[in-house]
Amino acid sequence: MSKPRLDPVSEQAIDWMVKLRAGTPDPALQERFNAWLAMDRAHSQAWATLQDRLGGSFNTVRALDRRLPGQASEARQVLLQPQASRRDALRVIAGLGLFGTSLWLGAKSQLGEALLADLHTGRGQRQSFNLVDGSRLSLNAESAVDLLFNDTQRVIILRRGELVIDVAPDSRRPLVVRTAEGEMRALGTRFLVTQVQDASRLVVLQHSVEARLFDGTTQIIQEGQAAVLSSRRITLASGDERRRAAWLNGQLNVLDESLEQVVDALRPYSRGLVRVAPEVRGLRVQGVFPLDDPQRTLSALAETLPIRVDRYSPWLTLIGKK
């Protein structure tokens, strides 16, 4: 029985992957690639899928090499050599089943993403890293990134969670943070990026950042401003959002957000399941709370809001109407 063929758009995405990795970057080629991305949403989706599954630094192949030493070593050699052809890439991708499902069940889980990432943090853990270019990267709890740094580019791929990047200057290689929705190119020195479900949040802490969707939509975000990137639009947030970086100091700074949003921010620091009843999810919250003691934060919220917090074990907390 023959193996199913990839759809034409996925094959085109692999074509572009091979071309863009072949030797010295060509501005004209990059322009054609950008035009292809913007031509059809299916193109950007296929490219995002390929990047998500292979990763900019091919962490997945490295992980496969540990699990399948006899097979994945060939994959690594083929995919990393600049002269690789599309046929070579297709052969390796199909042979390892990288467009299949079973191999990726683990990789697409939260644990799998963390294990395959270049840098990651666990539950309740914040960590800062000095990058090879002199930039300083800080990750919030349960965050994961891949790094694609070479002589021509500096790309940080945010797989999950939240980061703050203090950018070292480099006029030849602008630093870019890539998420599932688009890219954020540093025009200054410091900004925050959060990956949430179906959207990315950008907060500019110093100077400015260029936000760009995969369809080519672009907007400059200035210091103090914030924007939410979805698949089709960039939406500016009202007010100064720099308070969102308070997690660097172990704090959650909330200004008129829903109880559900506050609990979501506490989840990377909480043990077990925390469930919020539908009738209280929309209650508005304001204040500064400790991230490292989520139970204390929930108790403080129960004193000021009409809610009750019931803890049935370290692994189950229910928040309902008082």
Render pLDDT for 25-78 as a digit per residue (tens, 0 to 9).
567 777 788 888 888 888 887 777 766 555 443 444 444 444 444 444 444 444
Q: Which of 160, 156, 158, 139 is nearest to 148 (CA)?
A: 156
Using a pLDDT cut of 90, give the percent of the chain over it: 51
Is 179 within a domain? yes
User: What's the pLDDT at 96?
Assistant: 45
Residue 299 pLDDT exceeds 90: yes
235 and 287 inside one domain? no
Q: For residue range 131-188, list pLDDT tens digits in order.
A: 999 999 999 999 999 898 999 999 999 989 999 999 999 989 999 999 989 999 999 8
Mean pLDDT value of segment 211-225? 93
154 lies in the same domain as 216: yes
Count CB atoms within 10 A of the CB of residue 41. Answer: 13
User: How far apart, in whole angstroms, are the C-alpha atoms of residue 279 and residue 277?
Assistant: 6
| Spatial separation of the C-alpha atoms in residues 61 and 112, rounded to whole Å | 13
Tell whether 33 is covered by a domain: yes
Same domain membership, residue 235 and residue 124: yes
Are residues 233 and 128 both part of a single domain?
Answer: yes
What does each C-alpha distance from 166 to 169, 186, 227, 274 come to in angstroms?
Answer: 10, 10, 19, 33
pLDDT exceeds cutoff 90 at 93: no
- CA distances to 38, 192, 264, 284 from 163, in Å: 27, 6, 16, 25
Based on the fold, state whether residues 131 and 210 are members of the same structural domain.
Answer: yes
Quick check: is 212 in a domain?
Answer: yes
Q: What is the mean pLDDT of the chain?
A: 79
Range of the domain at 292: 250-321
Domain stops at, among 208, 241, 274: 241
Residue 127 sits in the same domain as residue 220: yes
Domain for residue 37, yes or no? Answer: yes
Examine the domain organization and report whether 220 and 173 are in the same domain.
Answer: yes
Percentage of the chain modeled with pLDDT above 70? 74
Looking at per-residue confidence, does 305 or 33 come out higher?
305
108 pLDDT more than 80 = no
Query: Residues 277, 304: one domain?
Result: yes
> What CATH number is given to the structural domain containing 290?
3.55.50.30
Does 273 lie in the same domain as 210? no
Instruction: Look at residue 202 and tell me if it is in a domain.
Output: yes
Which of these three, 108, 129, 151, is where a domain ends? Answer: 108
In a domain, 114, yes or no: no
Number of domains observed in the structure of the chain: 3
pLDDT tens per residue across span 70-82:
444 444 444 444 4
Looking at the fold, whether 187 and 74 belong to one and the same domain comes out as: no
**Boundary (domain end) residue, out of 192, 217, 241:** 241
Kindly state whether residues 208 and 258 are assigned to the same domain. Answer: no
For residue 211, pLDDT over 80 is answered with: yes
Whether 29 is in a domain gets the answer yes
Q: Which residues neighbour 99 within 8 Å (Cβ) at sequence distance 6 or greater?
A: 6, 10, 53, 93
* Structure-model confidence comparison of residues 2 and 158, the more confident one: 158
Examine the domain organization and report whether 257 and 163 are in the same domain. no
Helix ranges (H only) for 81-210 are 86-96, 102-107, 110-116
**According to the model, what pLDDT value does residue 210 have?**
96
